[in-house]
């Protein structure tokens, strides 16, 4: 795992956007794994700017999002489909037919999950997966547990996740309690992974990720230590509970 600790949110976003731009220019047919939440919003803004400045082209890009709430329609402002359209896809020249996000209203959810993994495989897998991290160390909606799912699955959301994500909803009762999420195996199959985190509320999860020697289901992000190409880009606040010497362990 390679670690960059940037001064603040903007610097973190700039570093991640630059890495995605490099990937897209290296392979204009890249399959990108996307993520939602507050953390990647700055990165998406910079990608839109790069597109407007003609530095990147989305016309042959394919995207797969790692999760979606169950029960929300794509036009619901809290759905991840709405988020992606609004924060990225509507502003660049991506063909929306090439943007895949799990359908939280699929009739047969089990069959849908299987089909989602097969679809990713059929495009040769994900070249670059972007990930955030939950305050409890979850990635996508792989919540802490003794056993984690290998493939795309129906996830039950943790109380703490429902609470964190309620800031986007009118009330906590409106937050869906389940979601479709890529499994740990689906995520680990990506060629490259970039995980980003900012702010004090992520400091504990980052501390556990970087200071512990354990790979455990109780900290789903810890599985990323087993991947050969992971870059963690965080800001100083997210790093604030770590030992300065940790910087030299991951470079």
Known catalytic residues are 67, 136, 138, 143
Angle (CA) 202 205 206, round 5°: 80
Residue 201 has which token pair? 């509320």
Residue 55 DSSP symbol: S
* Interface positions, 79-138, toward ligand GLP (CB under 6 A): 132-134
Among 10, 38, 98, 114, binds ligand GLP (CB under 6 A): 38
Residue 226 has which token pair? 């087993």
Query: Judged by CB under 6 A, does residue 217 bind ligand GLP?
Result: no
Residue 57 has which token pair? 């082209």
Strand 192-197: give its sheet, edge to edge.
Answer: 2-6, 230-235, 192-197, 128-131, 31-34, 62-65, 99-100
**What does the alpha-carbon distance between residue 116 and residue 91 come to, in Å, rounded to a whole number?**
25
Among 4, 9, 42, 67, binds ligand GLP (CB under 6 A): 67
* Interface positions, 170-209, toward ligand GLP (CB under 6 A): none
Among 10, 21, 37, 225, binds ligand GLP (CB under 6 A): 37
Query: Which listed range, 19-27, 30-38, 120-128, 213-221, lies at the site for ligand GLP (CB under 6 A)?
Result: 30-38
For ligand GLP (CB under 6 A), the number of binding residues is 14
Residue 1 has which token pair? 């795992």
Q: Which is nearer to ligand GLP, 60 or 166 (CB)?
A: 166
Q: Which is nearer to ligand GLP, 60 or 217 (CB)?
A: 217
Query: Judged by CB under 6 A, does residue 39 bind ligand GLP?
Result: yes
How would you write 93-124 as a 3-class SS string?
A: CCCHHHEECCCCCCCCHHHHHHHHHHHHHHCC
Query: Judged by CB under 6 A, does residue 166 bind ligand GLP?
Result: no
Task: Give residues in contact with ligand GLP (CB under 6 A).
Answer: 35-39, 66-67, 132-134, 140-141, 161, 165
């Amino acid at each position: 795992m390679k670690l960059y600790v940037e001064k603040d949110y903007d610097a973190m976003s700039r570093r991640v956007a630059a890495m995605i731009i490099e990937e897209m220019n290296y392979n204009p047919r890249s399959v990108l794994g996307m993520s939602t939440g507050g953390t990647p919003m700055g990165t998406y803004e910079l990608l839109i700017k790069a597109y407007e400045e003609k530095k990147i082209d989305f016309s042959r890009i394919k995207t797969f999002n790692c999760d979606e709430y169950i029960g929300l329609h794509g036009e619901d402002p809290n759905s991840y489909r709405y988020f992606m359209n609004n924060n990225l896809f509507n502003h660049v020249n991506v063909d929306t037919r090439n943007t895949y996000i799990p359908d939280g209203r699929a009739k047969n959810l089990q069959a849908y999950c299987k089909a989602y993994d097969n679809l990713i495989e059929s495009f040769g897998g994900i070249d670059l997966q972007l990930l955030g991290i939950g305050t409890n160390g979850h990635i996508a909606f792989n919540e802490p547990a003794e056993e984690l799912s290998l493939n795309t699955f129906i996830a039950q959301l943790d109380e703490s996740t429902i609470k964190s994500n309620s800031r986007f909803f009118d009330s906590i009762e409106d937050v869906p309690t389940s979601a479709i999420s890529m499994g740990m195996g689906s995520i680990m199959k990506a060629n490259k992974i970039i995980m980003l985190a900012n702010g004090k509320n992520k400091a504990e999860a980052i501390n556990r990720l970087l200071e512990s020697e354990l790979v455990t289901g109780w900290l789903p992000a810890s599985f990323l230590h087993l991947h050969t190409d992971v870059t963690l880009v965080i800001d100083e606040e997210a790093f604030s509970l770590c030992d300065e010497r940790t910087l030299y362990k991951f470079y």
